[in-house]
Structure formats: C-alpha cells, structure tokens
Amino acid sequence: MDEINKLRLFNQLKSINRINSVSNRKESSAEHSWSCLILADYFLSKFNLQINRLKVYELLMYHDVVEIEAGDTPLGPELKLSGKKEKEDKAAKFLQKKLPKPLNDKFLGLFNEFEEQKTVEARFTKAIDALDAIVHELSYKKDWQGWTEKFLVEKKLHLFEEFPEIKATFKTILKFMKKEKYLND
C-alpha cells in the first residue's frame, strides 16, 4: 500500500491550475499534459518524424510533474518568470524523494532531460508544450487580451526552428489570430 500511496502523488497534478481557460474554469496541468500527448502524436504521425515516440511521450507525461510542488509559472505579456528554474529544480529533488521506485529516478531524469534540451526529443517536447497552450487558447479569444504578435514570436518562434512542420503551423495560427483580431497589434 505504501507504493500505491506514493503513486497517488501524481494525481495532485490534476489540481494544479494553469492560466488557460476550460469553459468556466482553469485548465489543470494534467489536462495540459494529455493535450500535449495528443498534439505530439499528431505531428509524429502526420509528418512521420524520425523521433523516439516513447521518449517524447514519457517526457510529456512527466514534464510538468514539478508543478505539484512549484505550481504553474504562466507566460504572459505582464508576467515575470523570475526564480522559475530554481523553484522547479528544488521541487524536482523534493518530489524524487516522495515518488515510488523506479519512477522517482525516471521522473528526475526526464525532468532534467526536458530542462537541459540536449536531445531532439526534449526539444520536440518543448516545442509541443509551447504550441499546445496556443492551440488550446484559440477557443478562448478573450484570454488573448494584452498579447501581441511580437511577444508571441519573441517567446515561441525559436522553439519551433528545428521542426519546420511545427513552425509552419505556428505561422498559420498567427495569421489566423491576426485576421480574427485575437492579438493587440
């Protein structure tokens, strides 16, 4: 039962709210992880990218687990990200001690791989993570108040450079957002 209770810690990701809307509430980090998995599967399947699918899926499953302790750090034109890395590193080490073996070491390894961005799978996962929030928020035009194309390009475009299919999708979305007046430009 001790191992099962340790596994239950992952369920706390369901109660970590992000800034993104879902109907009349906020999206959970667990919901975001799930939609990232779907988006990654779409790109991996449609474009037959030669990337290790299992590694991508594992990175996406675990990439936001630190938010159980650190909380979500949203991106926005008026928001500051100071201390994010230190807070998340501390949370990762704390959670590693609480999670059951062998997932505790697996989690920390995947978290570090995602953060270090040294593998193509980690960079792909980061690109998917960045695109997912944009795709999700297309359903909530009011949430884009204060956002500009310049800010989005500055914060996101560099993440897509290695993946032309994702970059093209991002540019298509930007055109749509400008046409439909999502952004303040």
Per residue in 126-159, pLDDT (tens digit) is 999 999 999 999 999 999 999 999 999 999 999 9
Q: Are 99 and 6 in contact (CB under 8 A)?
A: yes
pTM: 0.94
> What is the reported pLDDT for 140?
95
> What is the reported pLDDT for 76?
86
**Residue 158 to residues 48, 126, 155, Cα–Cα distance (Å):** 22, 11, 7
Q: pLDDT band for 18, please (50, 70, 90 cuts).
A: very high
The distance from CA 39 to its chain's CA centroid, rounded to whole angstroms, is 11
Q: Detail the DSSP E strand segments found in the chain.
A: 17-22, 25-28
Q: pLDDT band for 168, please (50, 70, 90 cuts).
A: very high
Q: pLDDT band for 82, please (50, 70, 90 cuts).
A: confident
Q: Report the distance separating Cα 128 and Cα 7, nearest Å.
A: 26
Beta bridge partners of 26: 21
* Percentage with pLDDT > 70 across the chain: 99
Q: Report the distance separating Cα 172 and Cα 175, nearest Å.
A: 5
pLDDT at 3 over 80: yes
Both tokens of 171, joined, read 């540019």
Range of the domain at 128: 2-179
In a domain, 55, yes or no: yes
In a domain, 128, yes or no: yes
pLDDT at 39 over 80: yes
Summary mean pLDDT of the chain:
95
Beta bridge partners of 28: 17
In a domain, 139, yes or no: yes
CATH number at residue 62: 1.10.3210.10
Both tokens of 92, joined, read 């990762």
In a domain, 184, yes or no: no
> What is the reported pLDDT for 73?
87
Q: Are 156 and 117 in contact (CB under 8 A)?
A: no
Nearest to 36, CA basis, from 113, 127, 112: 127
> What is the reported pLDDT for 84?
87
pLDDT at 54 over 80: yes
In a domain, 15, yes or no: yes
In a domain, 185, yes or no: no
The angle subtended at Cα 155 by Cα 25 and Cα 158, nearest 5°, is 130
What domain count does the chain have?
Answer: 1
Strand pairing report for 17-22 and 25-28 = antiparallel
> What is the reported pLDDT for 122?
98
